[in-house]
Structure 1
């Protein structure tokens, strides 16, 4: 697993030990970032269900200013800290051990909002509709903000949502589905 592009291009990232997480492949990361923005001119990102932090670190490498990494598993939090430190991104990263919905609430209380939210939960363990609704309700996504959702290919995410426009839906490798939304 590595950083695909930007300032940290080619740098190796550690994976979370064990089988509790499933890292996003380099092929999927590259394809997704071609859609959501090959490079960014600043902005903030939240990597919810961060695992190793690979997706958020990719966003920072490509020009995002700051990233909030969230995961509830201790091994994932440890791995995120290691990767952030190895990439020398400590000044651009906040790492929190929390359940996703608790993290959303805490971010709202801090009045945080994001240009990009990355959602890559364990497959079939989260109701995306509920996550998307809470993100809107707590005003966590900025105008023209993008939400990336990685999911099991058999899980169908909505084509139409009252608050979001689906800008891309794609299947990768026969098992991974990706849906990308933009705030209306």
Structure 2
């Protein structure tokens, strides 16, 4: 596993020991960052169910300037800390060993908002809809931001959730991706998304 582009391109990342986490493949990373970037001039990222921290670190490598990593697995937290140090990104990161919903409530209390939110909950305990509803209700996504969900292909996510709209989707074998943005951005082009410095 590695960082595939940006300032830390080629850095080899540690994987979480065991089979409790499922790393996002390089092909899926490329798809995600082609959808939303591929590079940034600042911005913030929330990597929920962060696992090894690969997505958040990829975002930082490509130009975002702040990321919060959350996972309730202590081995994952140790791995994230190791990978953050490998990339020299310690001053740009906050890492929390916490449940996803508790973490979102804590973030809400701090009045934080993000340009990119990545959700990759365990497939066997899939709760993406409730997480999306919580994120939308608490206004944790910036108006110009987006949410990327990685999920089981058998899970059919709704086209809209509150004020969020699903605008892209793709499947790769045993995993699928879906992208949500605020509905008010409907009709804007992919190039318009990419041309907004630091705002996806």
> Is 2:12 the counterpart of 1:7?
no
Partner of 2:67: 67
What corresponds to 2:179 in structure 1?
Answer: 180
CA distance in 2, matches of 1:91, 1:117: 20
Residue 130 of structure 2 corresponds to 130
Match of residue 118 from structure 1 = 118
1:6 CA displacement: 0.6
Matches of residues 48-63 of structure 1 in structure 2 within 5 Å?
Answer: 48-63=48-63
Is 2:83 the counterpart of 1:76? no
**Residue matched to 1:99:** 99
Alignment match, 2:32: 32
Helix, strand or coil at the partner of 1:124: helix
Q: TM-score, normalised by structure 1?
A: 0.97
What SS does the corresponding residue of 2:143 show, helix, strand or coil? strand
Asked whether the equivalents of residues 124 and 151 of structure 1 are also in contact (C-alpha less than 8 Å), the reply is no
In structure 1, the gaps of 5 or more residues are none
SS in 2 for 1:150: strand
Partner deviation per Cα, 1:40-97 (whole Å, 9 max, x = no partner): 1111100000000000000000111100000000000000000001111000000000
Structure 1 ranges of 4+ moved more than 4 A: none
Q: Please name the residue that 2:195 is paired with.
A: none
Q: Report if aligned partners of 2:115, 2:144 keep a CA contact under 8 Å in 1.
A: yes
Q: Contact conserved, 1:44 with 1:64, CA < 8 A, in 2?
A: yes
Q: How many residues align?
A: 183
- Displacement of 1:137 in angstroms is 1.4
Partner secondary structure for residue 88 of structure 1: coil
Cα distance in structure 2, aligned partners of 1:32 and 1:137: 24
Unaligned stretches of 5+ residues in structure 2: 184-200
CA positional deviation for 1:162 = 3.1
Q: Which residue of 2 aligns with 1:20?
A: 20
- Residues 18-49 of structure 1 show CA distances to partners (whole Å, capped at 9, x for unaligned) of 00001001111111110111011111100000
